Amino acid sequence: MNTRPAIESSSSPVALSASFNQDASCFTVGLDTGFCIFNSEPCQLRVARDFNAGLGAVEMLGKSNFIALIGGGKNPKFPQNKVVIWDDAKQKVVITLPVFTTVRSVRFSRSHIVVALQNSIRVYHFKTKPDLWHAFETADNPLGLCCLTAKTLAFPGRTPGQVQLVELATGNVSIIPAHGSALRAIDISRDGEVLATASETGTLVRVFATTNCARIAELRRGVDHATIFSLAIAPGGQLLAVTSDKSTLHVFDIPHPTKPPRSETPNGNRRLTSMGSSGGGSPVLGDVDTSQKWGILGRIPLLPRVFSDVYSFASAHFEIGDEPIHGGSTPLNSPDALGSRPPKGIIGWTSDHSLVVIGAGRDGRWEKFVIADGEDGKRYCVRDGWKRYLGVN
């Protein structure tokens, strides 16, 4: 009998990056051999392109055929100081945008291409021959943090912890002093009216109205330090999800500047008793109503603020895997990043009561969660299924 362990094939793909398009209907995966595009719900392969070389970041424009590519991995397809716009319908590169230093990330819309570098953000008009609209200085931004909507651009300020908000129509810039330490994650609602931020400390998430930069909420993820992986605002702008290296997905209610508070009447969520699962065994339940975590203690004066802070109303476990941890100092699209943690816990809301969490690496996973109403009237975060998407055809 041959009892030797199987040798892992050198041809097995490695996901270097993963990201959602603007409405989270699809997600793109940069591989050490090319890229793939999947439908988010259900998880189905749409497109696979083999370049026989690595892509450290892949960004899809909506549901269009335009895809932004950045070279990465041990054998990059493109130089890492260049953004390439690929037209998948024509199967060719249509725009090449060289910059001075390593590209940390790219975002684009039908009117702009935004390139994040270590200490600056460069904004171009989206044309066959892009012209530079504006360049903004930032604090160190190794993760390439930036968010782009049709009207607004957000990215780190010149001082760690600050956010710059740019009105694209006028070029007006507003500064939000969001945190006392460097930013770790930011997101803007799809209507552009709500901004959420988290810092390297990882204990608090702050929410701002973009119209006047006022802070409208402060949410506590937990007491212990954590590395925030992702935060995302639901399509309606009244729910926020956060993942961290604690392997926990938290879901919060958040206020919206122009909408009434979420009604406590039935909101279209699925009933917990009717929940099934697909590919992942039994549904996974998390903590519930943690916004009332400390009960009566939260109303006692003079106790530390941790007792009165707003906590998530539900949480659930998601899979991180056991790959080495990425510390954030190595760009994800660099060859050195293969020895560190690939991005994990990336959130995409497919509706106001359904979200998908994906992660890169050799064990690239897709996990679906729903916000479900229990028979007790409380809301739960329930895992509805999971897959290893690198094996999906």
Q: Which of 381, 352, 348, 86 is nearest to 229 (CA)?
A: 348
Q: Which of 141, 125, 121 is nearest to 133 (CA)?
A: 125
Whole-number Å distance between alpha carbons of 308 and 291: 9
Residue 291, φ and ψ in degrees, nearest 5: -65, -20
376 is a domain residue: yes
Q: What pLDDT does residue 321 have? A: 82
Whole-number Å distance between alpha carbons of 253 and 258: 15
Give CA separation, 89 vs 93, 94, 168, in Å.
11, 11, 29
For residue 373, the domain's CATH number is: 2.40.128.630
272 is a domain residue: yes
**Binned average pLDDT, 10 residues per bin, the chain of 393 residues:** 45 90 97 97 96 96 96 95 97 96 96 98 95 97 96 97 96 96 98 97 96 95 94 97 97 94 59 48 45 47 52 95 55 41 93 97 95 92 95 75
Mapped onto helix, strand or coil, the DSSP state of residue 295 is helix
**What length does the chain have?**
393
Q: What pLDDT does residue 293 have? A: 53
Q: What pLDDT does residue 82 have? A: 97
205 is a domain residue: yes
Q: What pLDDT does residue 366 have? A: 98
Q: What is the DSSP letter of 389?
A: G
Whole-number Å distance between alpha carbons of 177 and 163: 7
154 is a domain residue: no
Q: Exposed, middle or buried, 1 (CB in 10 Å: 0-12/13-18/19+)?
A: exposed
203 is a domain residue: yes
Whole-number Å distance between alpha carbons of 361 and 252: 28
309 is a domain residue: yes
- For the chain, the domain total comes to 1
Please list, residue by residue across 191-229, b when 16 or more beta carbons sit within 10 angstroms of its beta carbon and e when fewer do. Answer: bbbbbbbbbbbbbbbbbbbbeeeeeebebbbbeeebbbb
Q: What residue numbers bound the domain in which 277 lies?
A: 181-393
